[in-house]
Amino acid sequence: MKTVIFACVHNAGRSPMAAAFFNALADPLQAHAVSAGTEPGTRVHPEVLEAMREVGIDLSEAQPQKLTEELAAAADLLITMGCGEKCPFVPGLKRDDWPLRDPKGLPLAEVRVIRDEVKRRVEGLIRSEAD
């Protein structure tokens, strides 16, 4: 079972969306995802909850969590989304960065664009890891 961590700063927008899409689209017997943040917020942004609800994914129970070295060390892949140098370095851990806008405070129409880009990237990741 592969573990993918999606990480952003507050774990309240991009990374919860990515983990939710990954877990909805990937074979649960092959891989699963978690999300975390370098400076976790207190809740998932309301505009993100709404955008994800529109595509049938409920993030209302999602709780931002801290990206720790221990959490990262247990993963096979770390996808960062804006935490840059604040993300922990774990020797041997495969890492990629997706430069996505932070959806916090954006109008719903713009959050939808980010949501759809996150989904496209997750779909591409799943295809590439299946090869």
Number of other residues whose CB lies within 10 A of the CB of residue 96? 12
Helix (H) or strand (E) segment spanning residue 35: strand 31-37
For residue 88, pLDDT over 80 is answered with no
Does the predicted TM-score (pTM) go above 0.85?
yes
Burial degree of 112 (CB within 10 A; 0-12, 13-18, 19+) = middle
In the set 4, 8, 36, 59, the catalytic residue is 8
Dmax over Cα atoms in the chain, in whole Å? 39
| Annotation says 17 is catalytic | no
Helices (H), the chain: 14-25, 46-54, 69-73, 108-130
> Looking at the 3D structure of the chain, how many domains does it have?
1
Full domain range(s) for residue 70: 2-130
For residue 129, pLDDT over 90 is answered with no
Spatial distance between the Cα atoms of 123 and 128, rounded to a whole number of angstroms: 9
Q: What is the pLDDT of residues 36-69, one digit of tens each?
A: 998 999 999 999 999 999 999 999 999 999 998 8
| CA atoms within 13 Å, Cβ hemisphere of 46 | 2
| Annotation says 9 is catalytic | no
In the set 67, 78, 81, 83, the catalytic residue is 83
Q: What is the pLDDT of residues 61-78, one digit of tens each?
A: 999 999 988 898 899 999
User: What CATH number did the domain enclosing 13 receive?
Assistant: 3.40.50.2300
Mean pLDDT value across the chain: 92
| Annotation says 8 is catalytic | yes
In the set 87, 100, 111, 125, the catalytic residue is 87
